[in-house]
Structure 1
Amino acid sequence: MDGQPRVIPLAEVPPAPTGWGRPGWHVALWRLTEWAVVSNALQPSSALRVAVLRRFGARIGTGVVIRPRVRVRFPWNLEIGDDCWIGEGVWISNRERVVLEHDVVLSQETFVTTGSHDARRDMRVVARPVVVRAGAWVTTRCIVLGGVEVGTSAVVTPGTTVRSDVPAGMVVGQPEPQVLRARFPD
């Protein structure tokens, strides 16, 4: 080898399981409805967004506020407890289950994702659930990755990427970016 890292041939990546849990026509209908009602910045009604998400299988409690431009990949994999606030531009990409217990806040432009790729082996899709416990606040422009639990009443400071569990009652933030490790160990 000439000292260059190897390249994973993307043409050979195993196909991702659909993870849809619904027929293709249902997913397509959801995409159209999401665009027209849920993520539409011109549609002002939180109650209408909640109703549409419930109609497509989301389990949503009472007193939930969902602001404009929210995106939800698979509403049938979403559970939101009572009195939660979902800020403008939040994106929930939930191949696996996302659970927000009661009194949770996801602030503007936060991205919650249950899926990723196996970047060291073959780039296959991997997915793990996310749980945000009661009273937690994930502030603006955070990224919450699959397999994470944000503890009860924890706070995640702006711009933080959450890669591991956040202890209950703690405030967590992220320092300046740094090189972590080689992608392909020798």
Structure 2
Amino acid sequence: MSTEQDASTIPVIDLSKAPGERQAWDRPALVVYLWSVFELLFVTNPWQISSGLRALVLRLFGAEIGRGVIFRPRTRVKFPWKLHIDDRSWIGEGVWFHNQDHIYVGHDVVISQETFLTTGSHAHRRDMALITRPIRIDPGAWVTSRCIVLGGTHIGRSALIAPATCVAGQVPAGRIVGSSGVTDLGPRFRTSGDADDATS
């Protein structure tokens, strides 16, 4: 049976009618806009300003930040009132909490550079309505650099996520998870009898 379909019969969702705009805000527009200014000045700021000042500003807008939490420069937080980080956790440079739903980070957790945590997605088969699910990261876990953590994920106690891994669902406590390897596309250098390739 053929799986090909005439392109003209494939539906397109009219994004102007997609529900959910501002659905996840949970605060008046003025608070959201004011937060965007404070985030830019004090949290996302690339300068090596005080980590304590970043935590103070996040708390001012409703974040629950424990004692001794370290925030490196260029942290981004969509909605601080949906961010909960327990004591002594480290947040690396360029980490992005795209938290349209709540993100719970336990104590002594490391989230390394450029990791993206997103709690939101869309009903892609219907109308692109916003769908959100919380993220939970248990104490002692380490999410290494440039990972993507999707909504609904629960990372167990002291689990380790290998670099550049996309994480969804349950990660058992005390386990290392990550990509299973790379695809071998062949030798970089060919023998003298081989034809030259397009990159030579």
Q: TM-score if structure 1 supplies the norm length?
A: 0.90
Residue of structure 2 equivalent to 1:7 = 12
Deviation of residue 2 (structure 1)?
4.6
Q: Does 1:131 align with 2:139?
A: no
Alignment partner of 2:155 out of 150, 167, 171: 150
Inter-partner Cα distance in structure 2 for 1:137 and 1:103: 9
Gaps of 5+ in 1: 179-186
Residues 119 and 30 of structure 1: is their aligned pair in 2 closer, same or farther, counting only changes over 3 Å? same
Deviation of residue 170 (structure 1)?
0.6
Residue of structure 2 equivalent to 1:25 = 30
Inter-partner Cα distance in structure 2 for 1:122 and 1:171: 37
Residue of structure 2 equivalent to 1:122 = 127
The structure showing larger relative contact order (alpha-carbon pairs under 8 Å, at least 6 residues apart) is 1
1:53-111 per-residue CA deviation (whole Å, 9 max, x = no partner) reads 01111111101000000000000101000000000000001111100010011000000
Residue of structure 2 equivalent to 1:58 = 63
Q: Does 1:96 align with 2:105?
A: no
1:105-163 per-residue CA deviation (whole Å, 9 max, x = no partner) reads 10000000110111122211100000000000000000000011000000000000001
Q: Does 1:84 align with 2:89?
A: yes
SS at match of 1:7: coil
Q: TM-score if structure 2 supplies the norm length?
A: 0.84
Contact 1:157 1:172 in 2 (8 A): yes
Residue of structure 1 equivalent to 2:145 = 140
Inter-partner Cα distance in structure 1 for 2:182 and 2:15: 27
Deviation of residue 177 (structure 1)?
8.7
Following TM superposition, the consecutive aligned residue runs of length 4 or more in structure 1 with deviations greater than 4 angstroms are none
Deviation of residue 6 (structure 1)?
3.0
Contact 1:37 1:43 in 2 (8 A): no
1:13-69 per-residue CA deviation (whole Å, 9 max, x = no partner) reads 223353222111111111000000100012421010011101111111101000000
Gaps of 5+ in 2: 184-200
Inter-partner Cα distance in structure 2 for 1:163 and 1:58: 24
Inter-partner Cα distance in structure 1 for 2:35 and 2:157: 31
Deviation of residue 176 (structure 1)?
6.0
SS at match of 1:36: helix
Task: Report the AA paired with residue 129 of structure 1.
Answer: P
Contact 1:151 1:165 in 2 (8 A): yes
CA RMSD of aligned residues (A): 1.8
